[in-house]
Chain A
């Protein structure tokens, strides 16, 4: 076949969700050349909050203050859980590296400590998470101390009601007030979108007018909370201007997906991997993967690239996610892995996939389905051996975890990416092409 582009690299990362981004980043940081294939994944839907581990055991709905103590408990009780198989020291290193890269791309996180933080959500629940963007951290502080606090929202931003949050928390946080204002320049627009507001606040004039509307409402409030619309790429600057203009700490509360923090996170990760030299194929997907005769390299057949492309890689990281990411696919009877048809650990029949009660404390069995891997993060074939010596799997596609219930989505992605890339580097050894 002529005309098909050919490229090669040390490691091909399939997937551009949280896990794929982390893997690509860590790979180039270790000096491996990397091509990454895939589009945004679940990042766009995320909140900007980086969970590590908050709930364990899931069925008992136990919340943990320290993610590392929780990881200890997890390792003792569920040694199969992917997070239980990564050393805490690696998890710390992985998170540090991840947030450092984000900071260099303009998205700053509060220093990571030993403790989880509690933050407000837009429906008035309290979320336990780990990595908190600086634009949100004053909210965690205010919540801890239940400080006198003002929540402001904008008429027309449909899924965000400050009244709802304050009313829902009233019995536990009585000092939470709320106010609704018109967003300057959008007074006659019936439906506001967070992204448009975020863009608008990047202009000094709109920002000043908004601050001027809020200032008289602050009163004795020690902090002011807003829906997460404080700028897109320039969130630090917008946030700082609000704090200066209002004279109190200001914090954002993530809105319903697709939210501005999700967009920021996606934007920052894309910028970070690109600036690290990852070659991104963000419109493409992998149609097929084959190994060459002597099993030294893998060839990825891409679609969605004009004219097509073949990527030859010495190692492959599969970070294709679950059902919504497309890494797993289910028909009425069976769950398959989408690209290679790798065996998927799963319940015996569809009847066992889901509980009839959505909130059943033990969660839905289907969410623990996924790929099983060996100690080196290589997915196992039907014979229980690695499918290919240098094929690795990371992130939510892995079996034996339920990130949605454990609140460990980002942690799972970042930690397993780190651990798998360590193995990739080790196996490719000094021969990395650089």
Chain B
């Protein structure tokens, strides 16, 4: 047996979410060599399954003042240095009849105490500007909430880190640590594509694996206390409000509706879960969100939803607390020194909004241990725009395509206007990083599959395009269509009623009724008349 190949680096980062990629960028800007290993793909965890709210902090003013202030400060920084990932829509906090009057009355002073601007808005004015909010609204405040595109943030952070020498290994899962005294000598990483294992020797290892941080730390015999809270979100067919709309009350279920380009995203829920496997949105959660959010936004009772998704928040602290929202949503940096390790750190918890700060703290620790004295630059250095990362933004594709319409370019996705040239650019960027891009990879980096057909049409077209370019060979396309469409389906089945059910039925008529994709590898013909020629149908 060959011994696994060995790779060396200064810092190994485990996890390619917003935290891990921000950390790679932070270290790269300080001149530190690093490798990021991600078991799946960029933002495969909570970073790709959240609300996309760049918190002003107002949501936390009553319960967690520290978190509120952290959000405020970080939100301001990101609006300066990563403006291309943010839509500064502003946000409303809306109370309806029956909501706690006391909380409403105290809200402005809570905000003031955390330095967050909260301006009272006359209800009639607010409803004129956001007609979706209920006629039973009794109070509205405007706060500096914004929408952030976590995909673009992570992709561009990683792109800059890579340009400075950092390496990304996708589909590479950490499966074990080799300990030697107070040090981790090497990390064992399994490449999920080829099934091969590599050993990575790093002076420092950072566990930035979000909700998986407990599992990963356990592999190094360095347990951390953590529980999990699952949150589900629903995506509407069209955009229902310009601004972020929050329920003005202590944090509860279905409090927030986010603008997400051409759609709105409503949620979330909070349910304790014991494992990270098989996390998916349920019909019960979808109903709960619709019913609860409709109190603030009545149109949601009849609106069309196209998708649901669920993410897991790691919750640090007491496992016994009854309400998972009461457990801290702040972040934690573990140095593991009291567990006998000098070169492992874990950074987890927190929020998308605070990922830069989390990365800064982790990088400070690592640099101190490495003896690197260069300061953190991410609070002041603008995040460079990377052209191949622009396609995640709804509406971008359309603008770009219309602007630079080349005569030989064609639209592959008509709901979201994704041209062939976008797919080509994404493919080329992944390819140049030495990867074999899949349809799912392209979906993550573009709007393919994000519209009403949920991939039913555009996945087929994109695959045909990739064959035509010679990128796909043999039977690969069918498998990729099924993987991609299957993933989209998992996010769809909880919201299939009304118009979206009719759409889904049409897609099944196409993929099963006409193409018979579910028969891949099916049994031989059952009747006695079957003959050898039929073997071709498998």
- B475, A168: Cβ atoms under 8 Å? yes
- Is B525 in contact with A63, judged by CB distance below 8 angstroms? yes
Contact B518 A351 (CB under 8 A): no
Counting CB contacts under 8 A, is B151 at the interface?
no
Within 8 A of A (CB), among B386-413: 407-412
Query: Is there contact, CB below 8 Å, between B496 and A164?
Result: no
Shortest Cβ-Cβ A-B pairs, 4 listed: A358-B489, A164-B467, A404-B513, A161-B464
Check B523 against A61 for contact (C-beta < 8 Å): yes
Please determine whether A64 and B477 come into contact, CB atoms closer than 8 angstroms.
Answer: no
Asked if A190 CB lies within 8 Å of chain B CBs, one says yes
The one of B465, B474, B501 in contact with A168, judged by C-beta atoms closer than 8 angstroms, is B474
User: CB distance B525 to A45 under 8 Å?
Assistant: no
- B463: chain A residues at CB < 8 Å are 123, 164
CB distance from A351 to the nearest CB of B (A): 5
A156 lies within 8 A of B410 (CB): yes
A172 vs B521: C-alpha distance when bound (angstroms) = 13
* Chain A contacts for B496, CB-based, 8 A: 353-354, 366
Interface size on B, residues (CB 8 A): 73
Output the nearest chain A residue to B291 by Cβ-Cβ distance.
A332
Task: Assess whether A115 is interfacial by the CB under 8 Å rule.
Answer: yes
Q: A222 an interface residue at 8 Å Cβ cutoff?
A: no
B321 within 8 A of A: no
Q: Which one of A140-148, A272-280, A379-387, A416-424 contacts B?
A: A140-148
B512 CB, nearest partner CB in chain A, Å:
5
- Number of chain A residues whose Cβ lies closer than 8 Å to a Cβ of chain B: 77
CB <8 Å contact, A172 and B505: no
A164 B537 Cβ-Cβ under 8 A: no
16 residue pairs bridging A and B, Cβ less than 8 Å apart: A46-B514, A55-B519, A65-B529, A66-B527, A121-B516, A125-B515, A127-B515, A161-B467, A167-B467, A167-B473, A349-B283, A351-B282, A353-B493, A358-B489, A366-B496, A367-B508
Select which of B461, B485, B516 is within 8 A of A125 by beta carbon: B516
Cβ of B460 and Cβ of A64 under 8 Å apart? no
A73 at the interface (CB under 8 A from B): yes
List the B side residues contacting A170 at CB < 8 Å. 474-475
With A124-B477, A332-B497, A358-B489 as known contacts, state yes or no: A409 contacts B513, CB within 8 Å: yes
Closest to B490 in A: A356
Nearest A residue to B287 via CB reads: A332
Chain A CB count within 10 A is highest, among B280, B481, B506, B536, for B536
- What distance in Å separates the Cβ of A348 from its nearest Cβ neighbour in chain B? 12
Q: Knowing A55-B519, A161-B467 are in contact, say whether A42-B526 is a contact too (CB < 8 A).
A: no
B535 adjacent to chain A (CB < 8 Å): yes
Tell yes or no: B482 within 8 A of A by CB.
yes
Q: A5 within 8 Å of B by Cβ?
A: no
Contacts of A294 in B (CB 8 A): none
B486 near A358 (CB under 8 angstroms)? Answer: yes
Q: Are B515 and A323 in contact (CB under 8 A)?
A: no
* Residue pair A159, B460 in contact (C-beta under 8 Å): yes
Kindly state the separation between the CA atoms of A63 and B375 in the bound complex, as whole angstroms: 67
A180 engages B468 (CB within 8 Å): yes
| Interface status of A220 (Cβ within 8 A of chain B) | no
A124 lies within 8 A of B478 (CB): yes
List A contacts of B510 (CB < 8 A).
45, 256-257
Partner of A118, one of B482, B514, B534: B534
> A172 vs B478: C-alpha distance in the bound complex, in angstroms?
15
**CB–CB A143/B536 < 8 A:** yes
The answer to the question of A292 belonging to the interface, with a C-beta cut-off of 8 Å to chain B, is: no
How far in angstroms is the closest Cβ of chain A from B405?
Answer: 8
A66 to B534, CA, bound (A): 12
Most buried by B among A42, A45, A322, A354: A354
Q: Which residue of B lies closest to A350 (CB)?
A: B283
Quick one: closest B residue to A254, CB to CB? B514
Task: Give B454 Cβ to nearest chain A Cβ, in Å.
Answer: 10
Interface members, chain A 64-86 (any B CB < 8 Å): 64-66, 69-70, 73
